[in-house]
């Protein structure tokens, strides 16, 4: 697959930075000569950069941030991408290597931590490939994610069963996939299984929940007939957690294979 041409993206980023610096300079009522002197630049060079014909160095950008008392993130263009693209990029960077990363979409601050990306995926839960991509993400980040805390957060918004449902699906997928992997992958999978098993064991040790309405995960379920059909075909894992979805443990296993770079 050919790599995207970085030139348009770099040109837009350069123009955005130039515009922000020009904005901050005018707000301070500084002349180009004022700012140029503080950055050890000639006025003509600063003029070129403000027109988008050049770039500041990293050191100069940090000095500009200090001078104007702003965060360096102010220079990042605001992404106009839809939330699904931002979420897909976040999951791809966190271990779901089979997902295509859109290089036009800047990293989202709200999805910086793995727990944030997992939580947002489970709250939205409207794109099946992103839900199943949580399997390789959980495996790759088993030592970095606080599952108990994440479960409490989801439970607070009435979605507490979604995390253990994903975790058990991931465990079933790992059990199926581990024998077919290399020694390195087996070590990674076994470590993740230990963390995920411990989380589920703690949940099962707690008093059983009072009966709750079914959690309909699939956004395509819009009629009683479809609902009954999906319920009848649901996996044992989905029935155990009261999740109504067509997703099966094999779908999570497919995501694990994809993240390893194999479809076998």
Q: How confident is the model at residue 84 (pLDDT cuts 50, 70, 90)?
A: confident
pLDDT of residue 167: 98
Q: How confident is the model at residue 70 (pLDDT cuts 50, 70, 90)?
A: confident
Residue 140 — pLDDT band, cuts 50, 70, 90?
very high
Same domain for 70 and 87, yes or no, is no
* Of 50, 75, 100, the domain-final residue: 75
Going by C-alpha positions, the residue among 149, 101, 104, 99 that lies closest to residue 128 is 99
* 45 belongs to a structural domain: yes
Q: How confident is the model at residue 204 (pLDDT cuts 50, 70, 90)?
A: confident
Strand partners, 216: 244
Q: DSSP 3-state assignment of 67?
A: helix
> Does 138 share its domain with 58?
no
pLDDT, residue 8, reads: 57
Average pLDDT across the chain, whole number? 87
Q: Show the tokens assigned to 14.
A: 């350069």
* pLDDT interval class at 115 (50, 70, 90): very high
What's the whole-model pTM score? Answer: 0.71
219 lies in a domain?
no
Residue 15 has pLDDT above 90, yes or no: no
Q: How many domains does the chain have?
A: 2
Cα gap 213→173, rounded to integer Å? 27
Q: Identify any residues that bridge with 215 across adjacent strands, giving them in sequence order.
A: 243
Q: Decide: 147 and 199 in contact? Cβ < 8 Å.
A: yes
Judgement on whether residues 87 and 181 belong to the same structural domain of the protein: yes
**Quick one: pLDDT band at residue 250, thresholds 50, 70, 90?**
very high
Domain final residue pick, 24, 44, 75: 75
Quick check: 142 and 191 in contact, CB under 8 A?
yes
Give the Cα separation of 4 and 108 in Å (integer).
20
Q: Rounded CA gap, 191 and 139, in Å?
A: 8
Measured distance between the N- and C-terminal CA atoms of the chain, rounded to whole angstroms: 21
pLDDT at 80: 52
Residues 101 and 60 occupy one common structural domain:
no
Instruction: Write the CATH number for 40.
Output: 1.10.260.40
In a domain, 100, yes or no: yes
Task: Please give the residue range of the domain that contains residue 26.
Answer: 7-75
CA separation, residue 163 to residues 5, 104, 109, 223 (Å): 39, 30, 22, 25
Q: Are 164 and 241 in contact (CB under 8 A)?
A: yes
Q: Which of 35, 50, 75 is the last residue of a domain?
A: 75
Same domain as 208, residue 88: yes
């Amino acid at each position: 697959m050919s790599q995207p041409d970085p030139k348009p993206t770099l040109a837009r980023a350069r123009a955005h930075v130039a515009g922000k610096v020009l904005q901050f300079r005018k707000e301070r009522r500084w002349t180009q000569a004022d700012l140029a002197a503080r950055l050890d630049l000639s006025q003509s060079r600063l003029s070129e950069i403000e027109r988008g014909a050049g770039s500041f160095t990293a050191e100069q950008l940090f000095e500009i941030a200090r001078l104007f008392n702003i965060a360096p993130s102010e220079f990042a263009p605001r992404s106009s991408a839809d939330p699904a693209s931002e979420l897909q990029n976040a999951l791809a960077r966190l271990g779901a290597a089979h997902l295509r990363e859109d290089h036009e979409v800047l990293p989202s601050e709200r999805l910086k931590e793995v727990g944030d990306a997992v939580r947002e995926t489970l709250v939205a839960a409207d794109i099946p490939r992103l839900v199943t991509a949580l399997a390789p993400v959980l495996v790759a980040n088993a030592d970095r994610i606080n599952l108990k805390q994440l479960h409490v957060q989801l439970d607070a918004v009435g979605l507490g069963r979604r995390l253990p449902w994903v975790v058990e699906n991931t465990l079933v997928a790992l059990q199926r996939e581990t024998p077919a992997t290399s020694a390195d992958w087996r070590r990674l999978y076994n470590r993740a299984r230990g963390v995920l098993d411990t989380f589920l064991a703690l949940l099962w040790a707690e008093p059983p929940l009072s009966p709750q309405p079914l959690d309909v995960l699939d956004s395509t379920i819009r009629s009683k007939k479809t609902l009954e059909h999906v319920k009848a075909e649901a996996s044992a894992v989905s029935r155990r957690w009261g999740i109504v979805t067509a997703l099966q443990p094999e779908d999570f296993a497919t995501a694990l294979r994809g993240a390893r770079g194999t479809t076998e």
